[in-house]
Amino acid sequence: MTTSNIAFLFPGQGSQAVGMGKDLTEKHSTARQTFDEADEALGYKLSEACFEGPEDKLRLTEITQPAILTTSVAAWRVLQERGFKPAFVAGHSLGEYSAHVAAGTLSFADAVRAVRNRGKYMQEAVPVGVGAMAAVLGMDLERVAGVCTDAAQGEVCEPANINSPEQIVISGTKSAVERATTLASERGAKRAILLPVSAPFHCSLMKPAQDRLATDLATLAFQKPGVPVACNVDAALLEEADHSREALVRQVTGSVKWDQSIRLLIAQGVQTFVEVGPGKVLCGLMRQIDRSKAALNVGDEASLQKTSEHIAVGV
């Protein structure tokens, strides 16, 4: 049953946790099958890294990205098995690949290999210690963009994740990002804090990764999405195969326009947002964007039951 007022949202990097997906695989053969498929596509036991860790292994970008994608697709397949079909999908950064698997744009095996490489390319694009990211809280986009411009001083400093009216993440050269955090605090941000990330994602320093990924994505078969996908880089609905591929390429150096994407879906009549995959990061952002909308999640058996009941009542 397609429900016209429901969107499925898929989380990105930072939502990983040891044990993710384990509960669903123990109770649903579809979820178990998804992890088996990923293990086979990658040629190593991704499932082991997800279920048992260790945490520092799960934090390696080229493992984190396929791990979150696989956990999200496993949860989505269980929802699909129960007959739940959203009217729209969207994913935060890496999560956009999960959204495209759910929309039928990309095969799961292709997606899981693509994001493993994406993680590797992003990690290798900038030497460790050269780049940084920081979260700026309580400052609007225009003022954050001004801070970035003033802090750059010939280096790179750009808005990377426009997560909500309350939270914008900036990315770039470490010294420029450090200058920006000081400036943001001086100009009235509630807080500006450096983030413990391994690379400066979603800024122009990622151009080498973007070029390598573009070559990979050019070889993959993209289908017309069966469900409109709200894409990060334009905050627009994708309904064509080629546009989907191109948006995933541009996304590597482009800002994640999450706040704008959610508002786009609300304008389309979405009332209920379901975060499909590990963690509740997107539910938290939803509360900052529009508290009047229902924000649910599916990451384990308990949340699956609760969300299924909520959706069934609303249909």
Q: CATH no. for residue 182?
A: 3.30.70.250
Select from 175, 197, 219 the last residue of a domain: 197
Q: Can you give the CATH number for the domain in which 295 is found?
A: 3.40.366.10
Average pLDDT, the chain: 96
Q: Are residues 76 and 214 in the same domain?
A: yes
User: What is residue 219's three-state secondary structure?
Assistant: coil
Quick one: pLDDT band at residue 133, thresholds 50, 70, 90? Answer: very high
Pull the structure tokens for residue 102: 């759910």
Rounded to whole angstroms, what are the CA distances from 208 to 93, 120, 123, 152, 172? Answer: 17, 11, 10, 20, 14
Q: Are residues 218 and 289 in the same domain?
A: yes
How many domains does the chain divide into?
Answer: 2
Q: Are residues 6 and 84 in the same domain?
A: yes
Q: Are residues 93 and 224 in the same domain?
A: yes
Distance of CA 255 to the CA centre of its chain: 12
Pull the structure tokens for residue 298: 């599916």
* Beta-carbon-side half-sphere exposure of residue 300 (alpha carbons within 13 Å): 10
Q: Any idea of the CA torsion for 275, 88, 170, 118, to the nearest 10 degrees?
A: 90
Q: Are residues 193 and 230 in the same domain?
A: no
What angle (nearest 5°) sits at the alpha carbon of residue 294, between those of residues 289 and 295?
70
Q: Are residues 113 and 25 in the same domain?
A: yes
Strand order in the sheet with 236-238: 236-238, 229-231, 85-91, 2-10, 272-276, 294-298
Q: Are residues 114 and 219 in the same domain?
A: yes
For the entire predicted model, the pTM comes to: 0.96
pLDDT, tens digit (0-9, with 9 covering 90-100), for 30-61: 999 999 999 999 999 999 999 999 999 998 88
Q: Are residues 310 and 215 in the same domain?
A: yes
- The amino acid present at 231, given as its one-letter code, is C
Q: Are residues 232 and 177 in the same domain?
A: no
* Positions marked active-site: 93, 202
Quick one: pLDDT band at residue 3, thresholds 50, 70, 90? Answer: low
> Could you give the CA distance from residue 66 to residue 192 in angstroms, rounded to a whole number?
30
